[in-house]
Amino acid sequence: MSAIEIDVTVNGAARRWRVAPGDLLLDVLRREGYGGVKRGCESGECGACTILLDGKAVLACLTFAAQADGREVVTIEGLSPDGKLDPLQEAFVEHAAVQCGYCAPGMILSAKALLDERPDPSEAEVREALAGNLCRCTGYVKPVEAVLAAARAKGGAR
């Protein structure tokens, strides 16, 4: 099938890419250098490939690149464009919510989507937002604590 051109804003920068209609956003983002988009199960089960698409957390392994045409993508690289960590990233570090770190980009982006929409989440809402992000190392207590701490630091969290 012939290639198509898509225009995507990635982490605030305009990009034009030639993709095949069946190319997955996960593959295209990684090919274009966004290595923070992690490849895990490739079947929608682990959340490692989570990105923001127009502000919503979506799984890049279940999204065609063509679906991002004309839309805004944020990857974990976009949270610290000048090398300064986002408060959510800092909270994950401070609360020891990262061990191997493989799940962290997806988890942090799921948390960001939640906090952008709901700055004062309950613990149950944080747990629900992170439910699709699997971690083989830390468990979930510390990531949940980190998200609540980041929300509190911004004046939210109940």
Question: Which residue lies nearer to ligand FES by CB, 61 or 79?
Answer: 61
Contact string 132-151 vs ligand FES (x = CB under 6 A): ---xxxx-------------
Phi (first) and psi of residue 117, to 5 degrees: -90, -30
Phi (first) and psi of residue 4, to 5 degrees: -125, 160
Question: Which residue lies nearer to ligand FES by CB, 1 or 66?
Answer: 66
Residues binding ligand FES: what is the number (CB under 6 A)?
22
Residues 36-55 that bind ligand FES (CB under 6 A): 39-42, 44-49
- The two beta strands, 50-53 and 72-74, are antiparallel
H-type alpha helices, the chain: 25-31, 87-94, 104-117, 123-129, 141-153
Phi (first) and psi of residue 72, to 5 degrees: -110, 125
Q: Does 61 bind ligand FES (CB under 6 A)?
A: yes
- Using CB under 6 A, list all residues that contact ligand FES: 39-42, 44-49, 59, 61, 98-103, 135-138
